[in-house]
């Protein structure tokens, strides 16, 4: 099976040094929020606060260091992808709900589709807000306003993470994309189906304007399995 490189090693390391500590922050932060319910002792609470702060420091420092120490140019190009929202991306976002339920035609996508770009932008906004309010709480422990904003951002992040996890791990049609975050490569046929504009640009092929189609007569799961085989 032919494969194509989707993400360089620097982009992959940047992704994991951002995601894994963030999950650690989410878990330790949730535990702190529920410390009374979980009957934590004062010693346990203090230790958990220190762990939360240590993970936060790693989360703030590791991704930029990875970015600067590897293939910075390629990784920056990947990170800038979500900032390029096109009319095609907006059409993709508008039609995606219909494509899941009834017959609809999705416009061809580049390296990232409209949903991936929107998710990345939302994650960037949440992460920035978390970092700012977290620093505020570190300087002024117990301050109400940053705590409420910090909590609200966490609540907003949960469904976004759930959707991302479903698409990356559980959904048959989009699950092959996860391979790119481990090996850097995806199947060429899968890439041509889901990201034809990007493949055409990478291989110097003429870009096909034909949209992706999901017939209304097939159940969603059947359609997803067919997409995976396409």
Question: How many Cβ atoms are within 10 Å of 229's Cβ, its own excluded?
Answer: 10
Q: What is the per-residue pLDDT for 207?
A: 63
**pLDDT level of residue 222 (50, 70, 90 thresholds):** very low
Q: What is the per-residue pLDDT for 205?
A: 75
Q: Is the pLDDT of residue 204 over 90?
A: no
Q: Is the pLDDT of residue 216 over 70?
A: no
Place of tokens 């494969």: 3
> Three-state secondary structure along the chain?
CCEEECCCHHHHHHHHHHHHHHHHHHHHHHHHHCCCCCCCCHHHHHHHHHHHHHHHHHHHHHHHHHHHHCCHHHHHHHHHHHHCCCHHHHHHHHHHHHHHHCCEEECCCCCCCHHHHHHHHHHHHHHHHHHHHHHHHHHCCCCHHHHHHHHHHHHHHHHHHHHHHHHHHHCCCCHHHHHHHCCCEEEHHHHHHHCHHHHHHHHCCCCCCCCEEECCCCCHHHHHHHHHHC
Q: What is the per-residue pLDDT for 209?
A: 53
When comparing pLDDT for 98 and 164, which is higher?
164
pLDDT digits (tens, 9 = 90+) for 48-78: 999 999 999 999 999 999 999 999 999 999 9
Check if the beta carbon of residue 29 is closer than 8 Å to that of residue 45.
no
**pLDDT level of residue 200 (50, 70, 90 thresholds):** very high
Torsion of CA 222, 182, 65, 18, to 10 degrees: 40
Q: What is the per-residue pLDDT for 229?
A: 39
Q: What is the per-residue pLDDT for 217?
A: 35
Provide Rg for the chain, Cα atoms.
20
| Domain total in the chain | 1
Token pair belonging to 31: 């535990």
CATH at residue 202: 1.20.950.20
pLDDT digits (tens, 9 = 90+) for 68-120: 999 999 999 999 999 999 999 999 999 888 777 776 788 999 999 999 999 99
Q: What is the per-residue pLDDT for 59?
A: 96
pLDDT, the chain, mean: 87
**pLDDT level of residue 210 (50, 70, 90 thresholds):** low
When comparing pLDDT for 205 and 8, which is higher?
8
Provide the residue range defining the domain that includes 16.
3-229
pLDDT digits (tens, 9 = 90+) for 124-148: 999 999 999 999 999 998 899 999 9
Q: What is the per-residue pLDDT for 48?
A: 95
Q: What is the per-residue pLDDT for 173?
A: 84
CA–centroid distance for 186 within its chain? 17
For residues 41-51, give the mean pLDDT. 94
């Amino acid at each position: 099976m032919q494969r194509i490189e989707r993400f360089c090693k620097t982009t992959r390391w940047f992704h994991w040094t951002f995601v894994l500590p963030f999950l650690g922050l989410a878990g330790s932060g949730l535990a702190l929020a529920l410390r009374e319910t979980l009957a934590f002792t004062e010693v346990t609470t203090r230790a958990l606060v220190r762990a939360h702060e240590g993970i936060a420091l790693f989360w703030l420092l590791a991704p930029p260091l990875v970015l600067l120490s590897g293939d910075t140019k390629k990784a920056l190009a990947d990170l800038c992808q979500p900032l390029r929202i096109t009319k095609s991306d907006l059409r993709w976002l508008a039609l995606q709900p219909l494509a899941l339920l009834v017959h609809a035609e999705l416009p061809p996508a580049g390296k990232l589709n409209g949903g991936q770009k929107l998710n990345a932008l939302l994650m960037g906004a949440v992460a920035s807000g978390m970092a700012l309010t977290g620093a505020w709480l570190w300087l002024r422990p117990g301050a109400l306003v940053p705590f409420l904003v910090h909590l609200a951002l966490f609540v907003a992040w949960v469904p976004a993470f759930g959707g991302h996890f479903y698409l990356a791990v559980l959904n048959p049609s989009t699950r092959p994309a996860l391979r790119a975050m481990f090996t850097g490569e995806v199947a060429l046929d899968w890439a041509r189906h889901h990201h034809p504009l990007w493949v055409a640009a990478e291989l110097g092929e003429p870009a096909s304007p034909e949209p992706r189609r999901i017939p209304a007569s097939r159940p969603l799961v059947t359609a997803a399995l067919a997409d995976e085989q396409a």
